[in-house]
A and B are shown apart, each in its own frame.
Chain A
């Protein structure tokens, strides 16, 4: 068994085709997760009756169980629910018409939501209470003070953690192979299955993931610089 450097290159080119799949899973789970996380965080911070308890239970259960388990539970559980409902209400829709990647979207969004609710919460807590009081003291409503004063600063404070979450979801998206979605990693396995050069293929996959991660870090740094410009003070 010898290293075949040229096959790393060959595999690399073939793996590029799977990048859109990986990125779409990452993007969907991060965006939907952010919305879920923001809502969850607000419910908990404002102690909404009943809903706050449900939100807490959601966060502790999801963070307490592996992402792969979420995917498998959704994959096996969701069709049962959908088909049951469809039969009951006489819909023509059946779970077989859900594409495999749909299960990855749904389950990873749920996973990301729980982690991001903590990121959002930390961001909001980073905005000091005095500024909210100042907004109230000039007659702004709660919603106005959240939208104009708290959220922009919470976002700036949460950016480093958000970037971490994006990278986490990028790498986590490889688990989608469990429901037969061909992402970069799964593609590497397929590419190597004809000649057994798995090592070269996975090396190529690693290079692509590394590149994507560096790209995300760069973009995050750029956004951070723009959004956090107000923090670079000279005088105390």
Chain B
């Protein structure tokens, strides 16, 4: 369904991704964990070409691109099949919640305004913002902004949604509402790749957990395998550092 093969990426002389391959099945929720600088965000950004991979292949659905000779048209196609939810929300600040969701439907999918509007309203209601359609981002809380971001990502009905630390910029009391929305979407069977530090969320929602460090995938498996019975020493070290003792022994 989504196949990343031999993805490599360097920033100058610093190699951030080393020959990474990862397959994600339809409807699967894959959570990527790892210390900062491990390349997890870069990998995610490579999937919709916000970072240009140095080499490797990306396949999404029936679309396939070789990164070493991707043309502009390939990149646009790839981006239309994927969607990203950003750590800093990145809403269009001069557009209302409704306009933010409608934008891609109007401009990219070229839907008639009435149709785009109807679908966008439905999506905003789904993320619990039916009452905030005409508010600008500056008048929404972080949690509300991120939920608009999720509705915007859903609008194009992408084959996969990429979440880049979607709750890291939120006040602690707002994290729950956003995770709840992501959980609900996951239950609908939408394919997701999520970079997050929310261990509880990873344990509940992920079908598979991937642990990255130093630009490679160190270990992957079900949440139970990775969290309870990590095989690699680096994984164990990482989990010890971020998981409170009490949770770790469950």
Contact = CB atoms under 8 A, between A and B. Distances in A.
B79 A137 contact: yes
A231 B93 CA distance: 8
A119 to B, nearest CB: 19
A187 B101 CA distance: 57
B136 A230 contact: yes
Interface in B90-133: 90-95, 103-104, 107-108
Interface in A214-236: 229-236
Interface stretch (B34-42, B137-145, B242-250): B137-145
B138 A230 contact: yes
Interface stretch (A27-35, A93-101, A148-156, A194-202): A148-156
Nearest to A127: B93
A100 B170 CA distance: 62
Given A136-B79, A231-B138, A234-B139, A144 B107 contact: yes
A131 interface: yes
A136 B152 CA distance: 13
B94 A130 contact: no
Contact of B79 (A138, A229, A236): A138
B149 to A, nearest CB: 8
A74 interface: no
B139 A235 contact: yes
A134 B93 contact: no
B156 interface: yes
A156 B95 CA distance: 13
Given A134-B86, A138-B103, A153 B93 contact: yes
A146 interface: no
Contacts of A236: 141-142
A149 B100 CA distance: 10
A193 interface: no
Given A139-B80, A231-B138, A233-B139, A134 B108 contact: no
A131 B93 contact: yes
A234 B108 CA distance: 32
Contacts of A128: 90
Contacts of A152: 94
B98 to A, nearest CB: 13
Contact of A138 (B88, B136, B137, B156): B156
Contacts of B139: 233-235
Nearest to B88: A130
Contacts of A148: 103, 107
A127 to B, nearest CB: 8
A113 B29 CA distance: 53
A133 B86 contact: yes
B48 interface: yes
Contacts of B107: 140, 144, 148
Interface string A149-189: 10011001000000000000000000000000000000000
30 contacts: A133-B90, A134-B84, A134-B91, A135-B103, A137-B82, A137-B83, A138-B79, A138-B80, A138-B103, A138-B153, A139-B76, A139-B79, A139-B80, A140-B108, A149-B92, A152-B94, A153-B93, A229-B136, A230-B95, A230-B136, A230-B138, A231-B136, A233-B136, A233-B137, A233-B138, A235-B138, A235-B139, A235-B140, A235-B141, A236-B141
The 8 nearest A-B residue pairs measured at CB? A233-B138, A138-B104, A130-B90, A139-B80, A134-B90, A137-B84, A230-B136, A139-B79
Interface of B: 48-50, 76, 79-80, 82-84, 86, 88, 90-95, 103-104, 107-108, 136-142, 149, 152-153, 155-156
Given A133-B84, A137-B84, 15 more contacts: A130-B88, A137-B50, A137-B82, A137-B86, A138-B103, A138-B108, A138-B156, A149-B92, A152-B94, A153-B93, A230-B93, A230-B94, A230-B95, A231-B138, A235-B141
